[in-house]
Structure formats: C-alpha cells, structure tokens
Amino acid sequence: MDCSDRLLCILFLIFLPGNLMTKTIIMPKYGLQQDEGTVVEWRIKEGDQVNKGDILLDLETDKALFEYESSESGYIRKLVAQNGDVVPVLSVIALLTDEADEAIDESALSDAPEPAVVEASPEPKAPSEVPPTAPTERIKRSPAARRRVLELNIELATITGTGPGGRIVQVDVENAATKAPTVTAGSSSLSKMRQAIGKTMAYSKSTIPHFYVATEIDMTDAETWRKNLTETDAIKLSVTDLFVKAAADALTQYPALNASLSGDTAVIIHDTVNIGLAVGTDDGLVVPVIPNAQKIFLADLADERAQRVDEARQGKLRGDANATFTISNLGMYGVTSFTAIVNPPEAAILAVGAAIPRVVPIGDSMTIAVRQIAEATLSADHRLVDGVVAAQFLQALKQNLEDVKKLEGWL
C-alpha cells in the first residue's frame, strides 16, 4: 500500500483486523480474602461463540462453587487455564475476540501473572477397615461437602451425590455420616473458610476506621402490607427483600456509600448497586450477590434473592458480580440490634435487627400506640464517608420502608 497519504495509512492501521482489541477473561476476585480460584470445569471450548451472560465455566474458591457468566460477547480463542488449574485472582484464564478469525493479541497475557497450577491436596486416608479407593479429587463435590468430608473422615468415593449432575453436596455427606464410623478427636483446626473469614475481619477492623450510625424504623405498615400480599396475591416477600430494595434505592441517592477504595487513595463510585447478603452456613459466612438491585422490581428481586441464598447454602454461588454494599439481617433469630464489620473494599454494611412491638407516640399528639419497630445500624468507612452522609442514607432508607405507596410502586 502506498502510504504517501498519511491519513489513509492511519485509517488502514486502525481498521486492520489484526489490530482489533483482544478481550480477556480473568479469574474474578470475590472477596479480599480470596487469593486464587480453581477452574473446576469449562462449559465451552476454543472456537465457541458466546453471548454476554452465558455460563463459561465452574469456578471454586475457599467459600463456594461459582458459575462464571461471560461479561462479553464474542468467540473463545484460547483457554489459558485448564480444568483443575489453581489460578491467582485477576490472572487471565481465556482470550476472546469479536470475530472468529481475528488475530489474537498475545500481549494481553502480559498484563497479569501466569496461572499457577497447584496440585490438588489429597483426601485424608480412610480408616484401615475401609478398602482403598480411587483418588477423590476428580469426584464432583461442593466446597461445603469437601470440608465436611475432611471433618468427618468419610471416604468421598463411597458417597452418592444428589446435587446437579450427581455432584456430592453437604447433605449427602451428613447422611453418609450416620451410616459410617466417625473419628472423635480431642482438638481440631480452623477450616479454610474460617481462616479466610478471620483474616478478612481482622484486616477490616485493624485498617478501616469504622463508625456506626443507627436508626429506628416503624415496620408496622410495611409488615401488614407484606403479609397481605402473601395471602391475597401469593407474592412471597421477606423482610430482607424490603430492606434490599429500600437500601438499593437509597444508595442511588447517596452513591458515596456505593463505593470502594482501591489502594490507599483511589475512590471508585460504582454505577450499579450490587447488594451482597451475609448468609450463615454450617461452615461459615458466604455473601451471594444480587446485581443491579436498583433496577429490579420487588417481586422479581424476591425470587432472585431466594434462589441465590438457597444456592449459597448449598455451597454454590452464581455470576461474577462483586458486592458494592452488604446487608446482614439477624432479625429472624430474635436479635434486636447489632453492629457488623465492613466487608472491604466496600464503604459500608447495614445490620438489620428484628421488628419488635413497642409503645411509641404518634406524631405530635399525646396519642400512643403499639408499633413494630426495627433497628438498623450502618457501619461505614470514615475514609470514604462522614456521619452526615450516613445519617442521610438511613433517613432515606427509613422513609422508603415506612411509605407503603412507595413499596407498592416497586412491585
């Protein structure tokens, strides 16, 4: 090509197919305590066309098993990490291009560390009376089931899985434990999940300047409305669903709380509200995420929340969205108030207590009534927000939950 015309040459180079950008798929970081993830099984192969939202692979961390959804559309050109590889977070695990025959830019791999392949830890040896079996690392099992097997010293290969695709889940291990001899020990070690939780919470309390702001919310009308929906329209909403939607709406008004700190000084204001829910399991705490909670209608949000919490309790989480704000509700256990520890790098976490009957004055009159009052406490990072913003957020949250017409508008 004659490049005497400089402008034509520049345009040619810009639109040259080989110069199109190669997209990367990286090992996601679901929490500060996560340093690596395991590629359990690819659902696609090189050359396949994928759309945004398609499930690419199953990933496993110390906390759960994840279905990794593609955030891009295009063609899978190279699988950098293979099934069974343990890969550092933020490392490239696959390359994707817009066109099937587009030249691959291998330099995309240089921006992240190479995947580190780590040998899977062998399962503990079974008692002498149990005959040896084939290696167990290839058997499909949830993270919770894997940990429970170690605790109960049960041979994994003897358990029949009832989960998806024959995967062994925790209940299968528990059922097998009633039929198999157990080993009683005088002491035990912290599980990997408990170690991860301890590491994160210790980091949070020692590095984040926490402050706490609380408010009381009259849930009487909201609770009456919620229960009537179940009886008349068969729409099942939980108190948590109401708090998730009310908080998501309030966060759009006060985005400083829907933020995170990157490094020591960089503040990231997120354009979507991804609400994480602190869910307790037998093994520890997991946080399923409801992405774009600010855009979801309340009835749909309830379905999404129920499904994601159920999956989390089975040791499986879905999607690659990171929480931008977390809610912890202990009201169903009769807890009236508590303070939660901020889950870094988020700016805040909301602790919700039970709604209990209390005698309160009505308006400015001398009238009193028994109302259902719940206490909500916000723990926030003082580096990102001040008390005024936190108070304004709680005020917006309170107004949302005490206004039944607004709740109805979200259906």
pLDDT digits (tens, 9 = 90+) for 240-280: 999 999 999 999 999 999 999 888 889 999 999 999 999 98
Cβ burial, residue 370 (10 Å; 0-12/13-18/19+): exposed
> The domain spanning residue 320 has which CATH number?
3.30.559.10
Among candidate residues 233, 282, 310, 382, the one labeled active-site is 382
For residue range 368-388, list pLDDT tens digits in order.
Answer: 999 999 999 999 999 999 999
Q: Are residues 89 and 130 in the same domain?
A: no
pLDDT of residue 135: 38
- Give me the half-sphere count of Cα atoms (radius 13 Å) on the Cβ side of residue 390: 22
Kindly report the CATH number assigned to the domain that includes residue 182: 4.10.320.10
Name the catalytic one among 85, 270, 386, 403. 386
Whether residues 243 and 374 share a domain: the answer is: yes
Instruction: Tell whether 166 and 218 lie within a shared domain.
Output: no
pLDDT in tens, 346-363: 999 999 999 999 998 887
Number of domains in the chain: 3
Residues 105, 154, single domain; the answer is no
Q: Are residues 320 and 223 in the same domain?
A: yes
pLDDT of residue 18: 41
Task: Specify the pLDDT at position 52.
Answer: 84
pLDDT digits (tens, 9 = 90+) for 303-322: 999 999 988 888 777 776 78
In a domain, 173, yes or no: yes
Is it the case that residue 16 has pLDDT exceeding 50? Answer: no
- CATH code for the domain of 69: 2.40.50.100
Asked if 11 and 88 sit in the same domain, the reply is yes
113 pLDDT more than 90: no
Residue 201 lies in a domain: no
The residue segments making up the domain with residue 182 are 121-189
195 is a domain residue: no
Surface-to-core class of residue 172, CB atoms within 10 Å of its CB (0-12 exposed, 13-18 middle, 19+ buried): buried
The mean predicted confidence, pLDDT, of the chain is 81
- Length of the chain as a residue count: 411
Tokens of 44: 């696609």
Same structural domain, 314 and 173: no
Question: Is residue 147 located within the same domain as residue 296?
Answer: no
pTM above 0.95, yes or no: no
Distances (CA, A) of 381 to 158, 211, 230, 262, 391: 48, 7, 38, 13, 13
pLDDT, residue 215, reads 98
Whether residue 204 lies inside any domain: the answer is no
**Residue 30: CB atoms within 10 Å:** 25
Do residue 347 and residue 222 come from a single domain? yes
134 in the same domain as 29? no
Q: Has 386 been annotated as catalytic? A: yes
pLDDT in tens, 174-229: 777 666 444 455 677 777 777 778 888 898 999 999 999 999 999 999 999 999 99
